């Protein structure tokens, strides 16, 4: 079961986020899905979908690399790296043309073959710094 869960999560990450195949969200994400991240709009299945649509608009060349996956029982942990060019508004930030590299870890809970819950921790501060919305810390002093 763990290998099937890992394959489903990998498919969601690569195809939904990486390629914009948003129909898979309805297929693999439960109607009662709950998300936990710094983006509260991802708390529901529909919000999850809308967030990724907006993310793909902001970073149309978005690429997601699954670095590691560990699964046990109904949980899958995925360490990922996202790469993309900021060509549309993101989090209220107008397009900068900047190339970003974001890293994160998701802990997904699967039940009855569907994603029912996700905890995401990502480098939001680093992303905002790469977009110029927050100054990077001066580490020379």
CATH number at residue 77: 3.10.450.50
Q: Which pLDDT does position 91 carry in this prediction?
A: 87
What is the CB neighbour count within 10 angstroms for residue 136?
11
Question: What is the residue range of 82's domain?
Answer: 2-130
Q: What is the pLDDT of residues 87-104, one digit of tens each?
A: 999 989 999 999 999 999
The pLDDT value recorded for residue 17 is 86
Using CA atoms, how far residue 102 sits from 127, 131, 137, in Å, is: 6, 11, 17
Question: Against a cut of 0.95, is the pTM above it?
Answer: no
Residue 140 falls inside a structural domain: no
More confident residue, 138 or 16: 16
CA distance 138 to 68: 31
- The answer to the question of residue 135 being in a domain is no
The domain total for the chain is 1
The pLDDT of residue 42? 79
Burial of 72 (0-12, 13-18, 19+ CB in 10 A): exposed
Domain membership flag for residue 139: no
Residues in the chain: 141
Alpha carbon of residue 128 to chain centroid: 15
Lowest mean pLDDT: which of 22-26, 75-79, 118-122?
A: 22-26
User: Does some domain include residue 73?
Assistant: yes
Asked if residue 138 belongs to a domain, the reply is no
pLDDT tens-digit readout, 37-49 = 888 777 889 988 8
Q: Report pLDDT digits (tens) over 1-13.
A: 789 999 999 999 8
């Amino acid at each position: 079961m763990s290998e099937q869960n890992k394959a489903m999560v990998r498919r969601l990450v690569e195809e939904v986020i990486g390629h914009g195949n948003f129909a898979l969200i309805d297929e693999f994400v439960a109607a009662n899905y709950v998300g936990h991240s710094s983006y509260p709009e991802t708390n529901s299945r529909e919000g999850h979908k809308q967030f990724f649509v907006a993310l793909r608009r902001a970073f149309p060349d978005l690429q997601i690399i699954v670095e590691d996956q560990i699964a046990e029982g109904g949980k899958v942990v995925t360490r990922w790296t996202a790469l993309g060019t900021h060509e549309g508004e993101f989090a209220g930030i107008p397009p900068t043309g900047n190339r970003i590299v974001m890293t994160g870890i998701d802990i997904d809970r699967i039940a009855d073959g569907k994603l029912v819950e996700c905890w995401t921790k990502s480098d939001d501060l680093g992303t905002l710094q790469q977009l110029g919305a927050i100054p990077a810390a001066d580490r020379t002093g």
